[in-house]
Structure 1
């Protein structure tokens, strides 16, 4: 029996939170669903702000620190947090692993 859309999206969200980021194509194979179905779920979850969507990769949304609201974005004038950025030419090849490793270290 196929899981309901809510169950499927909850599973995707749990895996993204656990791993930090995942490739859409690999996740579709792992979950046994079509890439098109997973992309539709990813679009809906990204629209709700549950995950970040990049080309072929989805990643978790940063959790706010305990006792604080969400961190202000760049240029928001918050000044309380440090922002670390990384520019990579693509999320293909091995760069997704590089970004994931940098995110874990930070």
Structure 2
């Protein structure tokens, strides 16, 4: 979606909950709702939203930003998840940032948490 405008991070987080529900339905074929994980000022370990009532631990990061989103930013966000105590089967990062060539050049990216 080009030129999407949101007023504040809560609005972006709410949109991400809806989008991830749709993404999971299309990709995995099952309905999963998402809800915010924690709140502003709490340690969230790079996790903003979590799947609710699902056997598969799906989590998301809602990165509201201006400018370029690059591989260094992605790797920093993934490092934060090392302190998350729960299991992660799939991590989704949704951002308003513009993809940098370092992101475009990724054909398949795998990250294993250090837990």
State whether TM-score is above 0.5.
no
Q: Which of the pair has more CA radius of gyration?
A: 1
Larger relative strand fraction: 2
Q: TM-score, normalised by structure 1?
A: 0.23
